[in-house]
Structure 1
Amino acid sequence: MSTSEIADNKWELEASRPPIATAGGILQIAVVGLFACLFVWMMSFSLEGIFGARRETLADQYGRLTVDGKPAPAPAPR
């Protein structure tokens, strides 16, 4: 192996190492961690909506609404 090939291999080895000890490397790790936390936070709301407690909304009452927008009165007991 020639001296230039050895120098090239050393440069490639240095270039392939992530800069985790520099301010830029630490900032990159923090930003990626922030986006990962944001994604997990959004997914938790999605899972809560899918598997959480069922709540009665206006959309659920649509078929029972009357003309004035209020729920229809309950039928009288017999």
Structure 2
Amino acid sequence: MSTAEIADNKWELEASKPPVATAGGILQILVIGFFAGLFAWMVMFAFQGIFGAKRDTLADQYGRLTVDGKAPAPTQ
């Protein structure tokens, strides 16, 4: 094996290691963690809206409106 091939292999080995001990690497981990947490927070509220308790809002009354624009009293 030539000296150039050995140097090339060492460079490839160093380049394949993630920079987790540097300030830039730590910042990248924190930013990705923040966005993952933000995404999980949004998905949590989406699931609460889909599977949570049903509330009788104006949007829910839209299908029950009569011709005069009044909705019947909500049933519980």
Same topology, TM > 0.5: yes
Q: Say which structure is richer in helix.
A: 2
Q: Runs of 5+ in structure 1 lacking a partner?
A: 74-78
Q: Tell which has more relative contact order, 1 or 2 (C-alpha 8 A, sep 6+).
A: 2
Q: Runs of 5+ in structure 2 lacking a partner?
A: none
C-alpha RMSD of the superposition: 1.6
For residues 21 and 56 of structure 2, the distance between their equivalents in structure 1, rounded to whole angstroms, comes to 53
Shift of 1:71: 3.7
Q: Deviations over 1:7-63 (max 9, x none)?
A: 000000000100000000000000000000000000000100111000001122222
Q: TM (normalized to structure 2)?
A: 0.84
Q: Which structure has the larger Rg?
A: 1
Q: TM (normalized to structure 1)?
A: 0.82
Runs of 4+ with >6 A deviation: none
Provide the identity percentage: 68
Q: How many residues align?
A: 72
